């Protein structure tokens, strides 16, 4: 007789029940540490939806070490720290502990010049017998990835599940969750144009990194599509931190002909540095130059002026990353796909709150 039970996930059952995933697991495994009332509510929903427990739930009582490895290129970068906090929260809820490996790959924020080779962490993680590995940034985010790095990834991937938050790489047998790296850039440009700003610059981001390349491509292509002449002198790349934003913006301000009326910054940290450089030049944001950011950080709402930015849904990405890894660890054949769409947040730094249009 065919099995027509609906393939719900443990996460959907948890949401419907209004309890944590770990509580659902305890109910499924007849744990005595669940109140009769909660157990009855969860059981009712399970029966109502004909839920068939997946390998994720069954594996809660397996012989796994219940330890995960997370490799981060720079934990001091708010982008990665926000992702990691979400990952840790869900991992703990599911009974997992985490070994955090910080490679200092983007170390300009804290003066570290030598990154720790990720291969070093690969072997250490395997020695610790973790159940799986999640990689956030680093070498995998380069436009051109070395064969040696791919080989090291594949060796690790043959022994434990490896999930990478980033674009797929040919001949790399890992699980990739692709982000929308360029999403929201056209919306930023349209917003600036609606305010009368047409001389739009681009500041921050390191050359040769996929995020920079994708956002810079979207910036140039959007301007061309709108019939606005592209001026390469308005682009000043550097890195991803406030000092980099300061230096990149100061470079644009050296000559009057390269002074933009608006800039799009790689992230909120770069935007904060750029605003400081603009102020030091005796100019004002947003009166003289509008400033927008491609990536919202928690502090952006508390700068002066508050930053117009893109919400990259970092909490969502972190949550989906850990769910994907745990499913892979437990051989759950139900794949997870993400729908990642950055959202424009309009605040003060572009001048919309003034209710006027600027001169070009």
Instruction: Check which CATH number belongs to the domain holding 285 and give it.
Output: 3.40.50.2300
DSSP string, 33-50: SS-HHHHHHHHHHHHHTT
Per the CB < 8 A criterion, the answer to whether 270 and 240 are in contact is: yes
- Considering only residues 195 and 13, tell me which one the structure prediction assigns the higher pLDDT: 195
170 and 233 co-located in one domain: no
15 lies in some domain: yes
**Assigned token pair, 175:** 């699980």
173 and 47 co-located in one domain: no
Residue range 163-191: mean pLDDT, rounded: 93
Query: Among 3-12, 196-205, 207-216, 234-243, whose mean pLDDT is lowest?
Result: 3-12
Q: Is 48 left (phi over 0), alpha (psi -120 to 50) or beta?
A: alpha
113 lies in some domain: yes
213 and 348 co-located in one domain: yes
151 and 235 co-located in one domain: no
Residue range 5-19: mean pLDDT, rounded: 75
Q: Which residues sit opposite 263 in a β-bridge?
A: 201, 291
* Number of folded domains that form the chain: 3
148 and 235 co-located in one domain: no
- Rounded distance between C-alpha atoms, residue 44 and residue 21, angstroms: 16
197 and 291 co-located in one domain: yes
- Rounded distance between C-alpha atoms, residue 216 and residue 309, angstroms: 16
State whether residue 53 is helix, strand or coil: coil
2 lies in some domain: no
- Rounded distance between C-alpha atoms, residue 228 and residue 5, angstroms: 56
207 and 304 co-located in one domain: yes
3 lies in some domain: no
175 and 189 co-located in one domain: no
- Considering only residues 40 and 30, tell me which one the structure prediction assigns the higher pLDDT: 40
193 and 294 co-located in one domain: yes
215 and 348 co-located in one domain: yes
**Cβ-Cβ contacts under 8 Å for 213 (sequence gap 6 or more):** 143
Per the CB < 8 A criterion, the answer to whether 257 and 233 are in contact is: yes
Which residue range(s) make up the domain with 26?
Answer: 10-60
Residue 102 gets which letter from DSSP?
A: E
245 and 350 co-located in one domain: yes
238 and 348 co-located in one domain: yes
Note the pTM of the prediction, 2 decimals.
0.79
100-109 per-position pLDDT tens digit: 999 876 554 5
**Assigned token pair, 115:** 């990154």
């Amino acid at each position: 007789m065919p099995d027509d039970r609906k393939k719900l996930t443990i996460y959907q059952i948890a949401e419907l029940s209004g309890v944590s995933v770990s509580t659902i697991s305890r109910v499924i495994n007849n744990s005595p540490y669940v109140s009769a009332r909660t157990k009855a509510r969860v059981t009712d929903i399970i029966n109502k939806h004909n839920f068939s427990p997946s390998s994720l739930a069954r594996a809660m009582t397996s012989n796994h070490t219940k330890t995960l490895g997370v490799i981060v290129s720079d934990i001091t970068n708010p982008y990665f720290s926000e992702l990691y906090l979400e990952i840790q929260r869900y991992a703990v809820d599911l009974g997992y502990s985490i070994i955090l490996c910080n490679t200092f790959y983007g170390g300009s924020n804290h003066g570290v010049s030598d990154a720790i080779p990720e291969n070093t962490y690969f072997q250490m993680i395997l020695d610790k017998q973790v159940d799986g590995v999640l990689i956030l940034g680093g070498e995998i985010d380069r436009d051109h990835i070395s064969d040696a790095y791919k080989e090291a990834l594949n060796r690790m991937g043959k022994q434990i599940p490896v999930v990478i938050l980033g674009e797929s790489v040919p001949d790399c047998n890992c699980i990739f969750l692709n982000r929308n790296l360029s999403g929201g850039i056209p919306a930023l440009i349209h917003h600036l144009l609606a305010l009368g700003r047409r001389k739009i610059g681009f500041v921050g981001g390191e050359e040769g990194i996929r995020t920079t390349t994708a956002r810079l491509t979207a910036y140039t292509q959007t301007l061309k599509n709108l019939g606005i002449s592209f001026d390469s002198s308005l682009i000043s790349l550097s890195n991803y931190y406030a000092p980099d934003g300061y230096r990149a913006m100061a470079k644009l301000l050296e000559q009057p002909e390269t002074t933009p009326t608006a800039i799009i910054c790689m992230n909120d940290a770069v935007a904060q540095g750029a605003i400081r450089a603009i102020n030091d030049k005796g100019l004002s944001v947003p009166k003289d130059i509008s400033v927008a950011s491609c990536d919202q950080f928690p502090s952006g709402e508390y700068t002066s002026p508050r930053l117009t930015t893109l919400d990259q849904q970092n909490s969502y990405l972190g949550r989906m990353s850990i769910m994907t890894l745990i499913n892979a660890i437990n051989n759950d054949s139900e794949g997870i796909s993400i729908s990642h769409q950055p959202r424009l947040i309009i605040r003060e730094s572009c001048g919309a709150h003034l209710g006027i249009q600027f001169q070009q």
